[in-house]
Amino acid sequence: MRPRLRAMLARYTVPPQDAEDVLQEVFVAAWIGRDSILHGEKWLLGTLRLKCALYWRKRRTERVHGVESELLEELSPPLSPRQEREEMRWDVESLTSHLEGRHREALWLRFGEGLSSREVAARLGYSPTSIRKLTYRCLEKVQRRAAAEGLIPRP
């Protein structure tokens, strides 16, 4: 029976790591129904065919329903309208325009690119402590300017 069972698994292209599990399901079903099975080989091949088809049906639905919709929404929140994003970008650029180039770059790497203080420090040749102090000071300057322009309430 072994060559015929292998051929059936190969015909259904069940991956080797999953083929053993499918066969175990067939053998467990055979053990449970051993008293009512009349033609053992035919029953094993038919049950294996059914289990292979069920395996692929399950795999297809896992790919489609594998990720919960709430998780997807959390991972990719809805984008704001393009005009709003452009306005925010313009506001950020105008608020940081008075900063030195290296300060703007440090802020961009830290918050625009999402790099850690260590990564920013490595790129710009600073120590991580210096980057933390630099970004803190730059953010204070930007906040003061935003408050002066009426974009945020005064602290």
pLDDT digits (tens, 9 = 90+) for 136-154: 888 888 888 888 887 777 6
CA angle 137, 132, 76 (to 5 degrees): 100
**Architecture in CATH for domain 82-148:** Orthogonal Bundle (1.10)
Cα separation, 26 vs 42, whole angstroms? 12
Contact 124, 131 (CB under 8 A): yes
Highest mean pLDDT among 36-40, 69-73, 111-115, 120-124: 120-124
pLDDT of 77 > 70? The answer is no
Looking at residue 99, the DSSP 8-state letter turns out to be S
Looking at residue 149, the DSSP 8-state letter turns out to be T
Cα separation, 56 vs 62, whole angstroms? 10
Give pLDDT, residue 37. Answer: 85
Domain boundaries, given as residue ranges, for the chain = 2-66, 82-148
The string of pLDDT tens digits covering residues 81-139 is 778 778 777 877 887 888 888 888 988 888 778 888 899 999 999 888 888 888 888 88
Residue environment code for 119-134, b if the CB has 16+ CB neighbours within 10 A, otherwise e: ebbeeeebeeeebbeb
Give pLDDT, residue 140. Answer: 86
Average pLDDT, the chain: 82
CB atoms under 10 Å from CB of 30, counted, come to 15
The model scores a pTM over 0.75: no
Contacting residues for 124 by C-beta, under 8 A, at least 6 apart: 102, 105, 106, 109, 131
